[in-house]
Structures are given as structure tokens and as C-alpha cells.
Amino acid sequence: MALSCVADAGDPAVALDVERLGPVEVLRSIIAGKQGPALAERARRLDLTDLQAAIAAGRFRFVVPGDDEWPDQLADLSGHQPIQRRGGMPYGLWLRGPGELTAMLRRSVAVVGSRASSSYGDAVATDISYELADAGWTVVSGGAFGIDAAAHHGALGAGGPTIAVLACGVDVSYPSSNSSLFAAIARDHLVVSELPPGAHPTRVRFLSRNRLIAAMTVGTIVVEAAIRSGARNTANWASLCNRRLMAVPGPIHSAQSMTPHLLIRDGAAAMITSAAEALELLSAAGDGLAPLPVGESRPTDRFDEVRLAVYEAVPRRRHRSAGEIALLADVSLQRCLAELASLDEAGMIESGPFGWRLR
């Protein structure tokens, strides 16, 4: 807990030391000044009394590797080169809300994208998240403007479950206009952060947060994202952790669809257009298969080859004799007359003094 309050979240060097030496030895080295005077001073001034009191009062809880609520899949973050100077396993996780983290993550999917989303992107994120949550999957996102907020709202609209993974303390509403959204998630579901309560977001903390979203979940869906975006960072971590990566296509002229299109073009992500297609990819082989799209049925779909040939030889605007139809359809006149009678009875063709035509 002290280490999470002192060391920078996602610092790959500190994370590696924690894996090798353990958190107690790393904290001792920080206090001794071996990690620099700034960290040493921060560690000396640290007082956990208020945080321990808040935990005792049930406002938050703190979990570490080995605890029942610790997501073991976060171990996939270790051993990789940092992405944009962030990496490694978190030292611990702060949780706010009644949800049980490991249970919620068993069937979970991240829905991420641009803060400056379009109405199209918001609608897609809301619809897909609603259907995923309705199917019992936990929707995980970052609580930001745009696609993140749309994903959370969609899941909440279906009755949840949803998890917000923040780049600030679990008691900090950032952005502040989403405070009611965070309150709703914390009341019924779960808010998660590797940063201690009271911590405020920075650009690098958003990058650190992205790796958690990717590693926690079974798969990640990128709805809209510009060529340089946090969502692309999340997608890179999802690929690195061997998670299922999906992307939603958009208008080819939209800058917000550049990352999804790039991921699809390069084969890094599977293209999806619905929650059903996402569930097919997230589920075990043979489960949750999405229905194949089919066009509306036509009466001719049930015809055998002979009847179809006769029908297609009947003109629409003028009449044609049975002999001409038989010749065009390459069938005997007797068989042609039988098929014409059946088509007439079905109300699809009509006869006149000069032969047959389509009704």
C-alpha cells in the first residue's frame, strides 16, 4: 500500500524490482534514497493512517497479488518491453464498490475509443455495451468522455455489470462532469485504480491505466480512435498480452476511425459490427456463434432448376408462347406447360391470348 502511494504507477524499473525483490525491499531502498531523493522524501512523509481508516470504514479496499480479488491475468504484463515508457505489473489495486473483481472479470470485455467521439461512435459503443452486459459480460472502460462514457452508460442501461478503471484515485471524479456516472458505477459495480485515493490524473497515468484495461479483460473492442490515441495504446497492450482484439469500422473519411481501420487492415484486430459478432470471438470455440446475415427470402428460392429456368424465360412486359418459353428454358414442351400451370396457380405469371408473362 505504501509503495502504491510512493512509486509511480507503471514505472517498469520499479515493477521489475518488486517482482525480483518484493515490495518491502523496494520500499526500503526508496527510503534509503537509492531510487532518488524525491522518492525518498515522499516515502518519509507518507502517513497511511487516513487511508487505513477509510479502508476500515468500507470506503475503499486494497488488494495485492495473492488476495482473493487479485486478477491473476495481470501477470501477463510482466516480461514485456514497456510501451510508451509504461509497463510491468501493478503493485496493488484500489477498489471502490460492491463488485467482486475476479468474478466480474471472468467474462469481461474492454470497450474503448476516442474522447472526441462522433454520434455514430457513441451509438455503436452504447448498443454493443448494452447487449454485452445484457448477455452477462462485464463491460470495462476508462470512464473518460466519448466512447468510454457511452460504453458504461450502455452497460448500466442493461443493468450492468461494468467496471471503470481510472487514471486517478477511485474517489476522484475525472472528468468532473462524469461524477454521476462514477457514483452509479461505484454504488452498484466497481471502480478500480492502481493509484491511491486522492491521486489526480496525468498524461502518463492514462498510459499506465491502459495496460490494466487490456490485461484484465478477455478481449478489447476499439470503437473509434484517431491515429494517435490512448485507445491505440490499449490495443497494443491487448495484442502484447494475447487478448482478443476487435475493431469497429467507420466512415473512411473519419479521422476517428483511422486506428480501427489500421488494426483491421494489418490483421491485428478482427472486424466486428455487432455484439453478437464480438461474443462469437470472445466465447469458447463453437459457443456463442453469431447468426449469418441473410437477405429476405424470395419465392424463387424454393424453385428447382427446371422451374426456375421456366420462370426466368417468362417476360415481364409482353407475352411469350409456351413453345418459345420451352426453347429458352431448354425443357420439353410438356414439362414447360406443367411448370407454367404451377406458376400460374401460385399467382406469379398470367396467361393471355398470345402466351404468358409475369404477373
Residue that the C-alpha cell 407454367 belongs to: 340
Same domain, 109 and 228: yes
Give the count of beta carbons closer than 10 Å to the beta carbon of residue 61.
16
Neighbours of 56 (CB within 10 A): 8
3-state percent breakdown (helix, strand, coil) of the chain, nearest 5: 45, 15, 40
- The distance in angstroms from the start CA to the end CA of the chain is 80
Query: Does some domain include residue 288?
Result: no
One domain, residues 105 and 159: yes
Closest CA to 118 of 148, 139, 147: 147
**Which residues lie closer than 8 Å to 213 by C-beta, 6 or more apart?**
110, 112, 140, 141, 142, 165, 220, 234, 237
Report the candidate in 243, 230, 215 with the shortest Cα–Cα distance to residue 78: 215
Helix/strand/coil for 356: strand
Query: What is the rounded CA–CA span in Å between residue 60 and residue 51?
Result: 9
pLDDT for res 56: 96
Residues 236 and 112 both lie in one domain: yes
Same domain for 106 and 12, yes or no, is no
CATH code for the domain of 56: 3.40.50.450
Q: Which amino acid is at 311?
A: Y
Phi then psi dihedrals of residue 23, to 5 deg: -65, -35
Cβ-proximal residues to 89 (8 Å cutoff; 6+ apart), any chain:
15, 18, 19, 65, 74, 75, 77, 78
Q: Going residue by residue through the chain (359 aa), what tens digit of pLDDT does each one get?
A: 999 999 999 999 999 999 999 999 999 999 999 988 999 999 999 999 999 999 999 999 999 999 999 999 999 999 899 999 999 999 999 999 999 999 999 999 999 999 999 999 999 999 999 999 999 999 999 999 999 999 999 999 999 899 999 999 999 999 999 999 999 999 999 999 999 999 999 999 999 999 999 999 999 999 999 998 999 999 999 999 999 999 999 999 999 999 999 999 999 999 999 999 999 999 876 666 667 776 788 889 999 999 999 999 999 999 999 999 999 999 999 999 999 999 999 999 999 989 999 99
* Residues 278, 345 within the same domain: no
Please report whether residue 270 resides in a domain. Answer: yes
Same domain, 260 and 240: yes
Distance separating alpha carbons of residues 231 and 167, to the nearest angstrom:
14
Q: Are 112 and 205 found together in one domain?
A: yes
- Name the nearest CA neighbour of 329 among 317, 344, 314: 314
Q: What CATH number did the domain enclosing 327 receive? A: 1.10.10.10
240, 255, 282 - which closes a domain: 282
From CA 166, how far away is CA 184, in angstroms rounded? 15
Shared domain check, 202 and 88:
yes
Q: Which amino acid is at 30?
A: I
Report helix, strand or coil for 170. Answer: coil
Do 324 and 269 share a structural domain?
no
Do 28 and 161 belong together in one domain? no
Task: Look at residues 187, 182, 151, 160 and name the one whose alpha carbon lies nearest to residue 169.
Answer: 182
The reply to whether 287 falls in a domain is no
Q: Are residues 26 and 81 in the same domain?
A: no
Q: Is residue 294 part of a domain?
A: no
Q: Which residue, 210, 240, 284, is CA-closest to 77?
A: 240
Tally of domains in the chain = 3
Same domain (yes/no): 153, 258:
yes
User: Domain range spanning residue 30?
Assistant: 1-47
Query: Residue 67 has what DSSP assignment?
Result: S
292 located within any domain: no
Is the four-CA dihedral 162, 166, 170, 173 of positive or negative sign?
Answer: negative
The bridge status of strand 219-222 relative to strand 108-112 is parallel
- Looking at the domain assignment, is residue 67 inside a domain? yes
On whether residue 117 sits in a domain, the answer given is yes
For residue 328, being part of any structural domain is answered with yes
- Grid coordinates of 223: 470503437
